[in-house]
Amino acid sequence: MAFRDDDEFEAWLKTQPQEICVMIATRAAMRGWWAIAWLWDDNSLTDRHRRLALSTGRAMLISGVAAVSPTPEIKEAAADAAFAAAAFRSAAADAARSAARSAARSAAFRSAAADAARSAAADAARSAAADAARSAAFAAVHSDADHSLEALRTRLLWGDERPDFLSDILKRSRPISASDPNFDFWIRWYEAADRGEPLDFDLQYRIATEIPDEIWTGEDAPRRVAEEIARIEAEFLADKTRLAETVSFNAETGKFRVDPAPMENAPLIGAMLSRTEDALDDALQGRNGLRDDMRDVRVLRRTHARYANDPQRIELDYTSVAISLRRQFEIKELAETDDNQALLEAVEEGALAIRAHHPEVAENRDRLAQQKLRELPEEDRALLEDALPVLEELSEEVMQEDFRADIPQLLNDATQPSPSGAPPLPGVDETTRIFYRVSRIKLLRDELNKASKKGAQIFDSPEFKTLRLGLTVSALLAEMVRLGLFLFGVI
């Protein structure tokens, strides 16, 4: 949409819902944030600059959330963010403050929200020194007027493409996170919005509302906020990959362990396991194509021998085997003999029986069925390879054995193409088990480290570094949470 001048643009804004004004203001402010979040050299990264980057990032994140969900708690958070950003004097800071101010307004004051949105656009353009840059900023703001709120959420930040002046600047400078890892989240958040793939909304909402204002504005704020965000991300991943089991710390051994949920209707489940074991024995006889060294056979044998009291594990393994058997039938790798069909029927009915008697397992299966995992990035293979010996050392018994089996399986799944030619994807069940437990370990470990200086020494010796990437235990777990959030489409 073309506007002759600022007055015409503001007049148009006053006819729009507050949410549109807030979103336009937020996007306008974000277009100027590069002037704060990208550095020419480390000498410019003063404590004041860190606070400026944090304060403006906070204001824009909260105002973006407020555009979609203007709840009372979000409006209160936006007011706090606008007040904090007012302590800094720069065009980019003014734009962020204006965006937060527009989000904090009551819907009854639509004119005030429109005025704040216009101010954000003007301040963002003012942060660009060159005429071409200011022109690009105004053009991007005006082009946002052609789109709905939902479209703006997933629209490239600069419209069709990033302007040449900014691409050149970003190539010759470095993100603030390269000098201070406490800003890793903020660069991920900004770059995701820039390419029109915003981070999960619920995750952003929690960050916007759960971190107290005194942490945002208090002493050592960048580090403390980064710790809070890491906690929220780990909790978010744990909830997204939730299983019917309990991860705990064994103080006697100094290791993490996992305990299954209590078995309901044990006699019925025991009979179901016996039926499946008999069907497996029958299928291994004669010319059915199954062999003892095949993965499906090994999974069932292991489940029956070691996890017969674990309803979540039985359901995961039975479902995995059922999917595998059906796939082998479809591509003619396995004959659909009576014995093989009986085995498939036994594992499918067994999985259904577990879900029927354990509602929490059924709920987890519904959630897993909706998960669409992303392809494992090649650069993260080294992270998983580094993680395996560390997670084995941190855990014991069943959890240790599962890490030892699941991580190589995840790596293998991510390199083997599917029969249909689709991209190789990690298995949902193994991936869920790995990242649920990793996220719980991180949360428990952080609690222990806060409670005990000795615990911090035990769990994160600065002398320890992983073999390939040279990560401490803390850094490794943080990177594993990041990878889990990526694979499950959160970031």
DSSP string for 108-166: GGHHHHHHHHHHHHHHHHHT--SHHHHHHHHHHHHHHTTS-HHHHHTS-TTTTS--HHH
Q: Find where tokens 């396991």 sit.
A: 273
Interatomic CA distance for residues 337 and 169, integer angstroms: 65
Interatomic CA distance for residues 298 and 283, integer angstroms: 13
Per-residue pLDDT for 117 more than 70? no
| pLDDT score at 294 | 92
Q: What pLDDT, in 10s, does the model give residues 231-253?
A: 999 999 998 888 888 999 998 99
Interatomic CA distance for residues 29 and 124, integer angstroms: 5
Give the pLDDT band of residue 425 (cuts 50, 70, 90).
very low
| pLDDT score at 6 | 72
| pLDDT score at 231 | 94
Average pLDDT over every residue of 127-142 = 69
Q: How much is the pTM?
A: 0.82
Closest CA to 238 of 371, 436, 399, 372: 436
Per-residue pLDDT for 418 more than 70? no
- Give me 103's structure tokens: 């989000």
Question: Which of 29-33, 197-201, 213-217, 450-454 shows the lowest per-residue confidence on average (mean pLDDT)?
Answer: 450-454
CA atoms within 13 A on the CB side of 155: 22
Q: Which helix (H) or strand (E) holds 39?
A: strand 38-39
Contact (Cβ atoms closer than 8 angstroms) between residue 24 and residue 103: no
| pLDDT score at 121 | 60
| pLDDT score at 113 | 56
Per-residue pLDDT for 191 more than 60? yes
Give the pLDDT band of residue 85 (cuts 50, 70, 90).
confident
Give the pLDDT band of residue 61 (cuts 50, 70, 90).
very high
Closest CA to 476 of 463, 488, 466, 490: 466
Average pLDDT over every residue of 444-469 = 65
Q: Find where tokens 């235990």 sit.
A: 473
- The distance from CA 14 to its chain's CA centroid, rounded to whole angstroms, is 36
Interatomic CA distance for residues 450 and 460, integer angstroms: 12
- Give me 440's structure tokens: 């719980």
Average pLDDT over every residue of 424-437 = 77
